[in-house]
A and B are shown apart, each in its own frame.
Chain A
């Protein structure tokens, strides 16, 4: 059970900035290798779209090649009595999507089944399973933008107002500027549990910061800022939190030993299959 506190990254950045400066250099290192594993990334949301699953494999750490795609797999999505066979896109090997667009439903249990893959090249097909339940739609109320100017950075802080239900929940925050998704990187997608706000009205939780130093994030009067609040499951929360720690890298002051990112893919698979509900609210930047 974990939580991300609102100011965790800010605190760590402050400490890192104020700590004695260190120096960095590229070094040559020889690493061992390991057997190949299947990598899965699949999502189902409450948006009406063709939901997708991407399959690839692991490779040696310094292989420096694009991740090998896994083609011709049998990928099935089961929800209740309905089973959908996902079709691989000709234009993007390894990317499978549902043949029809549909909206995922909260409280529905989704089951992903992958077969007819031979990742370890031993001539025997393997199969992989994953399950997830879509949480209820979050009760997002509104957002507010507040401009900050500090010695270290300036820009707009996005504050969220919402009602948290008494159940344990986990949230993800996506921020759009007009039609541009600003939090498209794994490292930018903030996630948080509701440990400190459980069952309470959330007054102004900071959920994102749009910095003036990035032209893509700089806001001008008339721009529309949209917060997409995702109600995600604990598996996805763990996956994103772990992945972000690994992307940040090891720091002896703040982090524990490196470790594999959480996965809910069976049979020693890697990655995540998740279903989340969402709700969006927008605000227009005033002059």
Chain B
């Protein structure tokens, strides 16, 4: 350790000492907040001390802790959609207090006590973050009736869809590989089914979704633009239950329940498309012999060992299959996380996680056929993380921890056999790296009006052999190569990532927030298409590629009205990205051993203003979001060195989302979405070679496609309530693109086959009006 490192260690030790001293003589009340019916931990539930107005929120495991002076207190537990509970406590010694909250039910004829509307959007320190209730996601009309987490967040301000129907998204001008998507802490590298038209997330298995748009907690790193933190349900530990649905494209079933006792529970949630089941009935043999489906399975097991220890085992497995007798393509994800919650004390909560993520694709001819061809690519992450939360006082919470991930990328291996069975094998050089992070962060309330969140993350990255690394000249031509043996550490990147945000509470109804964050990204995706394909590969920083770096500042004003039933916010941001990557014209990214030579490096800038209004009553819930934003790239070697709009540069983006409960059985929901057309490259001239007309361009992304807008509608009809029956069901009728707008997906410039001197422009649109019917059930 260097002398400078010694000073840093002493500095933090002194800070911790004073913080610990501040907690001396106090007692703690802690416990878990859960759903009374299912036992599910409630994430982000408020725990407020009535006497002082201070408090805390539950963590991702539903745990809270408050350290106070001995005395009498009234603790108020609240969570949106649940009845508030107030518990008087007499604190003389440390106390364990677990609370189960009842769901609130909307009764139109009777007055029912419901949870108070929360002003957490005013008081929480983090900027640019949104927690999406699963119930809200379920109400949003969706393509072919498939409710989808990713499609829901694409309706939020500052989040752009990258291509119609795609599961890719851009956050505040960031590329679609700059979003860290976690499922129970395991990274998900390709969140798409069916070429991106559906995401891999089964809503029935999801408990919580939170999106951080740049102001990412110091505990997470490795991506520039956002963190999408998705938590699976733990499983009903009170009784066995099932939910499911039969939809236009897929059917799903979720089983959950206790395992032997309420100390353990399980969740199994599966989903599969089933249109291919009918293919064998087709007359046309070309259709009959096809396989075309996707499936996924979420599984979770959790076990409460004792009051201080809990174990969680989470897994996801999903696969897409496109195949027939001639060729097949298979791709999918697998994630796995084993987590151990341990309470060192009532104030010190810890979590240790082992993680594995696997993404693969496999395409080629059937095994055993001659000739034979097979192409495999995969990515594996093996990781560990340890996180500690120290609930020092209601006004001060400290977090610290470490993480380490070993990345293995095998971008392409090919096996080919000719007619005589002669075999040829080829493989691109693998990529191995170790990405680590150490962080320290805290959240402090300084008086009644000021709250700050501060953090420092130190990330460091090693490249590891077995690898062949090329050296390029200024023209991106290979001039040399170096081979690093297996296990040899050969390159190192590192840096600090400070995170700071502040909330100035003007009054209970309004606040001003500001933040600054720096993020680094060591892993990026080799893709230059806007929608993305299953064949996208990832690659890492290296001697030739510096990690991407982003600095973002935000400033926001938050104001609520009508007892917090109306939430409004205006947030502006500015983001500067260094070592931003793009790809040269006509880059070849598939099976290219010299992939790094296809990159071009430069800067990117994005800025914008996000306006958000959310309104919620007993019957009506919805929001309007408007974002003005720009995203510009300035990269040497592209567009003749002139700045150009990024693929996700859409100056205007509007979403109007609402749902209305007409009665206790009928509910109506609607989205209207508008955005400026995406930047597009179109020709300004043409020329002819060998009878082919070729286009001439004068700039990348000089034009735009026509603006995009569409209206989606849905109607839900619930079955009549029969208290004696466990089974309940509902029908959902939805229409995607209700006024059948032909939103342009791409424009091609085509040479007329009959009149070869003539050309015309041809637009492609994906969807006209698409109805869907889904039946959902629960028992």
Mark interface residues in A188-228 (1 if CB within 8 Å of B CB, else 0).
Answer: 00000001110010011010000000000000000000000
Pick the residue among A15, A54, A260 that contacts B322 (CB under 8 A).
A15
**Interface-forming stretch among A32-40, A82-90, A109-117, A132-140?**
A32-40
- Least CB distance from B56 to A in Å reads 45
Docked pose: A82 CA to B292 CA in angstroms: 62
- Least CB distance from B749 to A in Å reads 7
With a CB–CB cut-off of 8 A, which chain A residues contact B691? 185-186
**A29 CB within 8 Å of chain B:** yes
Q: Are B696 and A270 in contact (CB under 8 A)?
A: yes
Docked pose: A95 CA to B286 CA in angstroms: 47
Q: Are B530 and A252 in contact (CB under 8 A)?
A: yes
With a CB–CB cut-off of 8 A, which chain B residues contact A253? 163, 195-196, 529, 531-533
Pick the residue among B426, B694, B696, B748 that contacts A196 (CB under 8 A).
B426
**B722 CB within 8 Å of chain A:** no
With a CB–CB cut-off of 8 A, which chain B residues contact A56? 687-688
With a CB–CB cut-off of 8 A, which chain B residues contact A66? 688, 757
Q: Are B326 and A259 in contact (CB under 8 A)?
A: no
**Interface-forming stretch among A96-104, A144-152, A170-178?**
A144-152
- Least CB distance from A8 to B in Å reads 7
**B528 CB within 8 Å of chain A:** yes
Q: Which residue of A lies closest to B418 (CB)?
A: A204
**Interface-forming stretch among A16-24, A120-128, A279-287?**
A16-24
Size band of the B side of the interface?
35 or more
- Least CB distance from A144 to B in Å reads 7
Pick the residue among B322, B588, B686 that contacts A59 (CB under 8 A).
B686
Q: Are B764 and A185 in contact (CB under 8 A)?
A: no
Interface of A is mostly: loop
**A246 CB within 8 Å of chain B:** yes
- Least CB distance from B694 to A in Å reads 6
- Least CB distance from A120 to B in Å reads 13
Docked pose: A150 CA to B587 CA in angstroms: 31
With a CB–CB cut-off of 8 A, which chain B residues contact A107? none
Pick the residue among A2, A146, A148 that contacts B592 (CB under 8 A).
A2
Docked pose: A146 CA to B419 CA in angstroms: 8
Q: Are A151 and B681 in contact (CB under 8 A)?
A: no
- Least CB distance from B100 to A in Å reads 45
Q: Are A203 and B422 in contact (CB under 8 A)?
A: yes
Q: Do A204 and B422 form a contact, CB below 8 Å, given A26-B761, A186-B689?
A: yes
**B758 CB within 8 Å of chain A:** yes
**A266 CB within 8 Å of chain B:** no
**B499 CB within 8 Å of chain A:** no
- Least CB distance from A53 to B in Å reads 12
Mark interface residues in B447-479 (1 if CB within 8 Å of A CB, else 0).
Answer: 000000000000000000000000000000110
Q: Are B758 and A197 in contact (CB under 8 A)?
A: no
Within 8 A of A (CB), among B686-714: 686-692, 694-698, 700-702
Q: Are B588 and A2 in contact (CB under 8 A)?
A: yes
Q: Are B414 and A1 in contact (CB under 8 A)?
A: no
Pick the residue among A20, A58, A146, A186 that contacts B766 (CB under 8 A).
A20
Q: Are A58 and B685 in contact (CB under 8 A)?
A: yes
With a CB–CB cut-off of 8 A, which chain B residues contact A41? 689-690
With a CB–CB cut-off of 8 A, which chain B residues contact A271? 687, 689
Docked pose: A134 CA to B1 CA in angstroms: 58
**A49 CB within 8 Å of chain B:** no
Q: Are A249 and B750 in contact (CB under 8 A)?
A: yes
Q: Which residue of A lies closest to B695 (CB)?
A: A246
Q: Are A187 and B692 in contact (CB under 8 A)?
A: yes
Q: Do A57 and B687 form a contact, CB below 8 Å, given A1-B592, A204-B419?
A: yes
Docked pose: A188 CA to B696 CA in angstroms: 21
Q: Are A29 and B195 in contact (CB under 8 A)?
A: no
With a CB–CB cut-off of 8 A, which chain B residues contact A195? 591-593
Within 8 A of A (CB), among B525-539: 528-533, 535
- Least CB distance from A7 to B in Å reads 6
Q: Are A14 and B762 in contact (CB under 8 A)?
A: no
- Least CB distance from A131 to B in Å reads 16
Question: Max chain A CB contacts within 10 Å: which of B195, B196, B694, B750?
Answer: B694
Q: Which residue of A lies closest to B196 (CB)?
A: A253
Q: Are A14 and B327 in contact (CB under 8 A)?
A: yes
Docked pose: A200 CA to B329 CA in angstroms: 28
Docked pose: A33 CA to B696 CA in angstroms: 10
With a CB–CB cut-off of 8 A, which chain B residues contact A262? 586
Q: Are B701 and A257 in contact (CB under 8 A)?
A: yes
Q: Which residue of A lies closest to B766 (CB)?
A: A22
Q: Do A33 and B289 form a contact, CB below 8 Å, given A15-B533, A41-B690?
A: no
**B73 CB within 8 Å of chain A:** no
Q: Are B477 and A29 in contact (CB under 8 A)?
A: no
With a CB–CB cut-off of 8 A, which chain A residues contact B760? 26, 62
**A73 CB within 8 Å of chain B:** no
Q: Are A260 and B747 in contact (CB under 8 A)?
A: no
Q: Are B696 and A257 in contact (CB under 8 A)?
A: no
Question: Max chain B CB contacts within 10 Å: which of A31, A36, A184, A241?
Answer: A31
- Least CB distance from A14 to B in Å reads 6
Report which B residues bind A (CB closer than 8 A). 163, 165, 194-197, 285-287, 289-290, 292, 322, 324-327, 329, 363-364, 371, 373, 375, 414, 416, 418-420, 422, 424, 426, 477-478, 528-533, 535, 583, 585-588, 590-594, 597-598, 647, 680-692, 694-698, 700-702, 742, 744-751, 757-766, 768
Can you pick out 12 interface pairs between chain A and chain B where the beta carbons lie within 8 Å of each other? A25-B763, A25-B765, A186-B690, A186-B692, A195-B591, A206-B371, A243-B689, A249-B748, A250-B747, A253-B532, A254-B529, A256-B529
Closest 4 interchain pairs by CB? A204-B418, A256-B528, A259-B585, A2-B588
